[in-house]
Amino acid sequence: MNRRRLRQVLLTLVKWLSHTIVFGQENIPPTGPCIVAANHMSCFDVPISYAMIDRDDVTGLAADTYKRYPLFSWIINLGGGIWIDRDSADLNALRKAIKHLSMGGVLGIAPEGTRSKVSALLPAKSGIAYLADKAKAPIIPMAIAGTEIATRELQRLRRPHVTIQIGKPFQLPPINRKDRAASLQRNSDEIMCRIALLLPEKYHGAYADHPRFVELQAADNNALK
């Protein structure tokens, strides 16, 4: 089974097992490198996200803790996923990710670095800002809502309602080498604030009162007037 066939199978399963609505798929460019940055609340985020990106060259960074789940491990390996040790600076995984982007591929990543257990955004790690800077790739924010209760709903023989909102691509400013840590933090927060902008209020979590999120929200509200 190749990646296209895998995506077709996953897309069929998503339609059978959930009520999933996707907005903004046209924001995924048909060619060229890009980083799709998504929030992460459930193990179902990986197959659903993979199914919704209509590109044969899509892959993603996956925490090696998923290796203990045979189904998810199989899906990630078949999809060419890049395993990463989230508890260390996994330079080998980062090099593979940069190489994939340099070849014009799509890379999916959860900036939070782990699954949120509070059903809301967690502070981002700096890895995605580092990747974007090295690869000079645009970021596409993806907001996923509803997967946090997917397992419970399926156990009750109910199809969970999932909404995916894909935002427009944007480019991050270069990292200031003289103030590297602050630049990485600024760019990581920028990504998360743009994801938050696409989510209902209850998911805003660590970014609910972030100055940049407040600024983006005000600009978005003014644009709608």
CATH number, domain with residue 161:
3.40.1130.10
10 Å CB burial of residue 32 (0-12, 13-18, 19+) is: middle
Q: How many CA atoms lie within 13 A of 75 on its CB side?
A: 24
Q: How many domains are there within the chain?
A: 1
Residues 132-156: tens digit of each pLDDT: 999 999 999 999 999 999 989 999 9
- The strands making up 19-23's β-sheet, listed across from edge to edge, are 19-23, 161-166, 139-145, 34-38, 106-109, 58-63, 82-84
Q: pTM here? A: 0.93
pLDDT at position 225 over 80: no
Rounded Cα gap, residues 108 and 45, in angstroms: 11
Q: Residue 196 is part of which domain span?
A: 3-224
What does the pLDDT average to over 93-110? Answer: 94
Tell me how far apart the 2 most distant CA atoms of the chain are, in Å.
Answer: 55
Q: How far apart are the first and last CA of the chain?
A: 49
Residues 8-45: tens digit of each pLDDT: 899 999 999 999 999 999 999 999 999 999 999 998 89
